[in-house]
Structure formats: structure tokens, C-alpha cells
């Protein structure tokens, strides 16, 4: 049995467990939100300012999905005006090391990937 089969297929679910989790954490915004929250507890507006290009709607959806999956906690304070803060849970913090490893790999190999794309595209 290969390492892939042992890791991804051992449950007998055809890899659906791994695909479901990767679908969530490998979308366009999730890792950026998680990495930003690694700095600590932040309000929605602070998160929005720290993540260039994300719309308020996409940030809202991403935070809801992360909260649903148990990676982010949402704390609403009974104040006027209302104050809501987001923070990583222990589970969310456990995602930081593999995310950093993946980001490091991407940075380290970016030039080779770009050269390969250019060669493939004929340029």
C-alpha cells in the first residue's frame, strides 16, 4: 500500500474525507483568513483590511464556513455598537504549520513552476 493509499483511502470512503476537507481549506480565501487570524483575535473590519481583494460577502461566507468546521470561533459582545470578534480555535491553529509548509513550498518552487508553464504554453 502506498503512503497515499494509507493516508487517503484507508477509511474505505474512496478519499471523500480528504476531498471534503481539502475543498474547504484549499479554496481561494480560507488559508489567507486562517493565516491572518494567526495574529490573534480580530474584528470583521480588521480582517477585511488585512486581506486585499476579498469582498465583504466572501469574507462573511468564508468565516461562516470556518466557524461551521470548527476552525474559527465567533464572539459577539453585547455592546452598542455591536462588536464581533473572530479567532482561531485549537483546531484552526493546528492548520498553521501545514499551511506554512505549503506556502513555503509554493514560494520555493514558484520560479520553476512559472518556467514550466511558459514552456508548456510555448512562450
pLDDT tens, residue by residue, 39-56 = 999 999 999 999 999 999
Q: Classify residue 14 as exposed, middle or buried by CB count within 10 Å of its CB (0-12, 13-18, 19+).
A: exposed
60, containing H or E segment: helix 56-68
pLDDT at 62 over 80: yes
Which of 102, 84, 106, 113 minimizes the C-alpha distance to 34? 102
**What CA–CA distances, in Å, run from 61 to 26, 34, 85, 103, 111?**
15, 14, 15, 23, 33
pLDDT tens by residue, 7-24: 666 666 777 877 888 888
The predicted structure's pLDDT at residue 11? 63
Mean pLDDT of all residues in 94-119: 93
Q: Can you give the pTM of this predicted structure?
A: 0.81
Domain 3-120 in CATH 3.40.50.970: no
Amino acid at each position: 500500500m502506498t503512503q497515499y493509499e494509507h493516508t487517503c483511502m484507508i477509511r474505505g470512503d474512496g478519499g471523500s474525507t480528504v476531498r471534503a476537507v481539502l475543498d474547504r481549506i484549499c479554496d481561494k480565501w480560507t488559508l489567507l483568513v486562517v493565516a491572518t487570524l494567526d495574529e490573534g483575535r480580530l474584528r470583521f473590519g480588521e480582517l477585511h483590511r488585512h486581506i486585499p481583494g476579498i469582498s465583504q460577502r466572501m469574507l462573511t461566507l468564508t468565516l461562516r464556513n470556518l466557524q461551521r468546521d470548527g476552525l474559527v470561533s465567533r464572539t459577539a459582545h453585547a455592546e452598542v455598537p455591536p462588536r464581533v470578534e473572530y479567532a482561531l480555535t485549537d483546531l484552526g491553529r493546528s492548520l498553521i504549520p501545514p499551511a506554512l509548509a505549503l506556502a513555503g513550498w509554493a514560494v520555493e518552487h514558484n520560479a520553476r513552476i512559472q518556467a514550466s508553464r511558459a514552456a508548456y504554453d510555448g512562450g
